Amino acid sequence: MSVKVEIYDTTLRDGSQGEGVSFSLADKLHVTSALDELGVHYVEGGWPGSNPKDMEYFEAVRKLKLRHARVAAFGSTRHAKNTPAADPNLKQLVKAKTPVITIFGKTWDLHVRDALRVPLETNLAMIESSVKYLKKKTGQVFFDGEHFFDGYNANPEYALQALAAAAEAGAEALILCDTNGGNFPSRIAEVTALVVKKFSGLSIGIHTHNDSGMAVANSVAAVEAGASHVQGTINGLGERCGNADLAQVIPNLELKGGKTCIGKKNLRHLTETSRYVYELATLPLVNSQPFVGRSAFAHKGGIHVSAVARNSKTYEHVEPEMVGNERRILVSELSGRSNILACSKVDLSDKPEKMKEVLAKVMELEKDGYAFENAEASFHLLISRIVGGYVPAFELKSFRVMSEYHPAGERVSEATVKVAVDGREHHTVSEGDSGPVNALDKALRKALLPEFPILEQMKLVDYKVHIVNAQAAAEAKVRVVIISQLHGDVWGTVGVSENIIEASCRAMVESLEYTVLKYGKHKRQK
């Protein structure tokens, strides 16, 4: 029988402390809904009282109709000089009116002496009285033992006393934190097993940081040692090197560890949720991210591709569909017949001449600076043009981009485009807030949206520029790769030119056309 493990997400609190991460109030509510749909058990919304936005969140989140997740407010134990009822921090936690309150307390005697500067006994009293007070005010109280593993390594007796103080006061879960992220999985497992045995009637949790690159491994090790509650963030967002990545922890436990976390049905939405969080956090996708990254199931070597085509288990540890991802076959000048066959949506097995033509065209274009490894949409369009049956969704007749720079620092970019759809010409002008590429994107969409409303839902999520022949200096060619997203699907397109605006336009036009041909209804599409 599968053992259930509770998933406690702290993306909105611990994750938001990561460098470059910022969620608006609307973002926080969207993330909450997405995590609820994923089947996460607890969503830690923030630290009430630390900033106005978090308190607004706790008021607004009560209006959401959540099906799975319970919202938790986070804070610390009372100040040494305050009674629980008079402590501002505890008052704000109660004011948040969440069904769950999580508080952290010191379990490392070093922190008690050097950070809090109170006697060890006083810290234990702070933990006990804070938990007891909050238990009277809300449904569940969880206790995060901050720096627990370091505390246990330094003074095991005191670290366990801190947990006992929370347990005796009524905490439902004791979470063991590797706050500095410096412990090994073997040590995490050893200490967790001891705690599970000592506090057998309580839920024991794990909260790890990734400073040594072992947060996921440490979380899994703790669960294997008996922990039944895992805290982490989507995509491993968090302070310094981040927290345990739930997009890795969950599938490892669910698919390999014999545990039930969110259920295999919900697991199929994991990749979509991961990318949605990246989008709301305005962060680029991490291609190499296990399970959910674009490269997680990408194959380039011809031998690999040939083997995967026969049996995916030869080079894949799980099926990509199980986590909502997809297999990608990469194409380059090194590609063989198996890569082309696997990538093509048209059966070329009985068209050897077309196969040769495709390979020759790929080699020609890559010699000219193109690369199709991250531009599968451009490759699909290339095959369609060669094999036949291709009917362009629209034709870009011309474009012009102008940028003005003023002494006061103001920048104005304006793009003019002329496109034709079924003989109808659209001539539009748009200004860009973020430069010429932004202006060009707006102008193209303005021209095409009346014909293809689907384009309003497609977003450009990444933009990469690479100098192809740096030795040519200012006359060098540039390769622009644009990553686009729609309905959880992600694809890339590429453009090359000595002019960065022209290269950008080529990549952008291919992304727009690919969107229309794949997702839109165009009467001439075959």
pLDDT value of position 391: 86
CATH number of the domain within which 402 lies: 3.30.160.740
- Residues contacting 518, CB < 8 A, separation 6+: none
**103 and 149 belong to one structural domain:** yes
C-alpha 253/C-alpha 452 separation (Å) is 43
Backbone angles phi, psi at 361, to 5 degrees: -65, -40
CA–CA distances in Å: residue 487 to residues 88, 130, 377: 44, 45, 16
**273 and 358 belong to one structural domain:** no
**Residue where the block lists tokens 């690159």:** 213
Q: What is the count of structural domains for the chain?
A: 3
**75 and 202 belong to one structural domain:** yes
In the listed set 412, 436, 451, which residue is the last one of a domain according to the structure?
A: 451
Q: What is the DSSP code (8-state) at residue 254?
A: I
pLDDT value of position 524: 37
**321 and 407 belong to one structural domain:** no
**16 and 77 belong to one structural domain:** yes
Answer whether residue 421 is part of any domain: yes
C-alpha 278/C-alpha 460 separation (Å) is 13
C-alpha 346/C-alpha 358 separation (Å) is 12
Identity at 380, one-letter amino acid code: H
Rg value, the chain, Cα:
27
CA–CA distances in Å: residue 183 to residues 107, 179, 190, 229: 16, 10, 11, 19
**242 and 364 belong to one structural domain:** no
Answer whether residue 27 is part of any domain: yes
Answer whether residue 367 is part of any domain: yes
**98 and 124 belong to one structural domain:** yes
What's the sign of the alpha-carbon dihedral 214, 217, 221, 227? positive
What's the sign of the alpha-carbon dihedral 105, 109, 111, 115? positive
pLDDT value of position 523: 39
C-alpha 182/C-alpha 213 separation (Å) is 9
Answer whether residue 504 is part of any domain: no
Q: Which two tokens stand for residue 207?
A: 């909260």
Answer whether residue 508 is part of any domain: no
CATH number of the domain within which 154 lies: 3.20.20.70
C-alpha 366/C-alpha 372 separation (Å) is 8
**88 and 234 belong to one structural domain:** yes
**137 and 28 belong to one structural domain:** yes
Q: Which two tokens stand for residue 454?
A: 């689907």
Q: Which two tokens stand for residue 486?
A: 């729609």
Which residues in the chain land under pLDDT 70?
1, 301-303, 305, 331-351, 409, 470, 472-474, 521-526
For residue 276, give the 3-state DSSP assignment.
helix
* Angle, helices 25-38/270-280, rounded to nearest 10 degrees: 170
Question: How far is C-alpha 170 from the geometric centre of its chain's CA atoms?
Answer: 35
Q: What is the pTM of this model?
A: 0.77
**Element (DSSP H or E) covering residue 231:** strand 229-232
In the listed set 280, 313, 341, which residue is the last one of a domain according to the structure?
A: 280
Answer whether residue 35 is part of any domain: yes
**165 and 243 belong to one structural domain:** yes
C-alpha 467/C-alpha 479 separation (Å) is 6
Answer whether residue 389 is part of any domain: no
**Residue where the block lists tokens 């720096």:** 147
pLDDT value of position 476: 80
**322 and 251 belong to one structural domain:** no
Give the number of other Cβ atoms within 10 Å of residue 182's Cβ: 14
408-456: pLDDT as tens digits: 767 788 999 999 998 899 999 998 878 899 999 999 999 999 999 999 9
Q: Which of 47, 62, 28, 142 is nearest to 92 (CA)?
A: 47
pLDDT value of position 316: 87
C-alpha 55/C-alpha 96 separation (Å) is 7
In the listed set 251, 280, 309, which residue is the last one of a domain according to the structure?
A: 280
Domain that holds residue 335: 298-378
Answer whether residue 480 is part of any domain: no
**273 and 303 belong to one structural domain:** no
C-alpha 373/C-alpha 426 separation (Å) is 33
C-alpha 367/C-alpha 333 separation (Å) is 8
pLDDT value of position 358: 80
Q: What is the DSSP code (8-state) at residue 64?
A: S
What's the sign of the alpha-carbon dihedral 344, 279, 60, 245? positive
pLDDT value of position 526: 33
